[in-house]
């Protein structure tokens, strides 16, 4: 269903790799709601994924940018405002990667070069995106910026590895940068803490299958899907949530406030 929530709004969507990506679903929903946008991803993702299909489907252009590279981000923001014909109203940061996770290095035995790289890609890139947008005065008043996170920033999930620390850093950047963006430009900044979701990044976490089933059994409403996450994100891009900022918003079917569920108890009886 479409509510025309984003009619006339322009944005940048980072992180659509394939049709499972949360950013992919969000791009489709933004398009349905009347928003226009530029898609961006790392140059290597252009070759691996199928972002071109999404661009065709949503009438949007793709601009390659490594989100850790300031020059790439500057070019992206310049080109995006030119292509879209004005300042930006919404930005989705849907980017995450840990080399320690990918290569199976244990949390207590990290390769710190990989740790640095993962932190840069998964957390600091959010600061870089916002700093470039702010320096270029590229955001419209009442614009909305959203990044995706996970509850391992607050609680221990052993196999989430160094991504837990990256997410804690990401959430802190949302608050700290969001303060200045709010004061100076009336732009809001939030993170959405999403349920485990079967995407390329999600499935890269060790034990993902068992883990997603566990989360589903713990959540009174069940796990939130990527499409449901897209719907929530759209509400945050719309004018219906203008005073929501500096928040980490759980989108997890209730998981984060459940101690134990009846379903899980029964497994131990």
Ligand X SMILES: NC(=O)c1ccc[n+]([C@@H]2O[C@H](COP(=O)([O-])OP(=O)(O)OC[C@H]3O[C@@H](n4cnc5c(N)ncnc54)[C@H](O)[C@@H]3O)[C@@H](O)[C@H]2O)c1
**In angstroms, what is the minimal distance from the CB of 126 to ligand X?**
9
The answer to whether 195 and 224 are in contact (CB under 8 A) is: yes
Torsion of CA 70, 35, 202, 210, to 10 degrees: 160
Place of tokens 């791009």: 27
Does 118 interact with ligand X (rule: CB under 6 A)?
no
10 Å CB burial of residue 169 (0-12, 13-18, 19+) is: middle
Angstrom distances, CA of residue 178 to CA of 96, 145, 172, 181 = 20, 9, 10, 5
Q: In a 3-state reduction of DSSP, which class is residue 97?
A: coil
Active-site positions?
150, 160
Q: Does 17 bind ligand X (CB under 6 A)?
A: yes
Determine if 191 is a binding residue for ligand X (CB under 6 A): no
Pick from 30, 101, 121, 173 the residue near ligand X by CB under 6 A: 121
- Indicate whether 41 belongs to the interface with ligand X (CB under 6 A): yes
**Should residue 22 be labelled a site residue for ligand X when binding is judged by CB under 6 A?**
yes
Q: Does 219 bind ligand X (CB under 6 A)?
A: no
Give yes or no for a contact between 40 and 64, defined as CB atoms under 8 angstroms apart.
yes
Q: Is 167 annotated as a binding residue?
A: yes
Binding segment for ligand X (CB under 6 A), chosen from 9-17, 54-62, 104-112, 239-247, is 9-17
Out of 10, 12, 15, 250, name the contact with ligand X by CB under 6 A: 15
Residues that bind ligand X in the complex, under the rule CB under 6 A: 14-15, 17, 21-23, 41-42, 45, 66-68, 94-97, 121, 148-150, 194, 196-197, 199-202
């Amino acid at each position: 269903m479409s509510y025309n929530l984003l009619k006339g709004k322009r944005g940048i969507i980072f992180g659509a790799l394939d049709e499972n990506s949360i950013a992919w679903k969000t791009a489709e929903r933004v398009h349905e709601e009347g928003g226009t946008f530029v898609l961006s991803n790392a140059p290597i993702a252009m070759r691996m994924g199928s972002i071109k299909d999404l661009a065709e489907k949503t009438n949007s252009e793709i601009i390659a940018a490594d989100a850790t590279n300031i020059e790439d981000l500057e070019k992206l923001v310049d080109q995006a405002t030119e292509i879209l014909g004005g300042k930006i109203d919404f930005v989705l940061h849907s980017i995450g990667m840990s080399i320690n996770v990918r290569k199976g290095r244990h949390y207590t035995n990290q390769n710190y070069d990989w740790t640095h790289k993962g932190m840069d890609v998964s957390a600091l890139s959010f600061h870089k995106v916002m700093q470039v947008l702010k320096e270029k005065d590229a955001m419209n008043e009442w614009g909305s910026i959203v990044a995706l996170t996970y509850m391992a920033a607050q609680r221990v999930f052993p196999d989430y590895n160094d991504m837990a620390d990256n997410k804690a850093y990401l959430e802190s950047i949302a608050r700290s940068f969001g303060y200045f963006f709010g004061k100076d430009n009336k732009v809001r900044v939030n993170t959405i803490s999403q349920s485990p979701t079967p995407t390329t990044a999600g499935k890269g976490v060790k034990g993902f299958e068992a883990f997603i089933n566990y989360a589903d059994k713990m959540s009174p409403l069940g796990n939130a899907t990527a499409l449901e996450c897209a719907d929530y994100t759209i509400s945050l891009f719309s004018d219906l949530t203008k005073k929501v900022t500096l928040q980490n918003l759980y989108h997890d079917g209730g998981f984060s406030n459940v101690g134990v569920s009846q379903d899980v108890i029964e497994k131990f009886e």
